[in-house]
Structure 1
Amino acid sequence: MGNIRFELKGLDKLQAKLQRVAKMEEVERIVEKNGEAMQKKAVDNAQFKGHYRGKKFIKPTGTTRKSISLNSSKIGRFKYRVAPGTDYAAYVELGTRKMSAQKYIKPAFDDQKKLFKRDLERLVK
């Protein structure tokens, strides 16, 4: 029998491509993990005091807290949206002239963005 010889060309390109794909998968995991963590923090922060309607005190129902969801399916591979589902959620977050703000989304975002940045920086080092 004769000598059989194999030569692989482009192995370095294949290896570089595989490393990029692996990094993108890791980025996707980091985005997902941080999205889920932010949603949990927003829910934990949603400890509302209630409000007055005229002179009558209205206890919080928990509807806004229960409505805080994490959505990723329709907005892209590297995007997660954490948002409350009630029509009046912005009034609770930002307050009105008759009600002080009871922030729950922004503190969760501010806290999580630091951790998200740290996770991404760790990945590229």
Structure 2
Amino acid sequence: MRVGELAARTGVSVRALRYYEEQNLLSAERSPSGQRHYPESAVDRVRLIQQLYAAGLSSKTIVELMPCVIDGRATPALLKRLAAEREHVDRRITDLMHARDRLDSVITAAGNNMVTGASCRQETTA
């Protein structure tokens, strides 16, 4: 498939796909005229890359981890790295849950003290 079709099927911009290639996250065959052609498996690979980015991993880290993630091949060092990345994701999830809980408490408190037309800021007069 061509780059535009891959972009449409994955919801990722053509520019992002080109960046993935530059970072060695994705590869394409080139036609004699220089057009990129991707295998069907590129759809799943792009979705995986997006998930790993969403988890907070850098492109450099993703490149290093990709053999283990895609092919199941892993050295002890790579498994250790994957475990560390997972712990990092767990910490982010915990932090986000705490932030959500704090927002819930602010919303509840503000709802209990709601005054029509008032803002959360107190006006001061000099």
Query: What's the TM-score, normalizing by structure 2?
Result: 0.34
Query: What's the TM-score, normalizing by structure 1?
Result: 0.34
Larger radius of gyration between Structure 1 and Structure 2: 1
More strand by share: 1
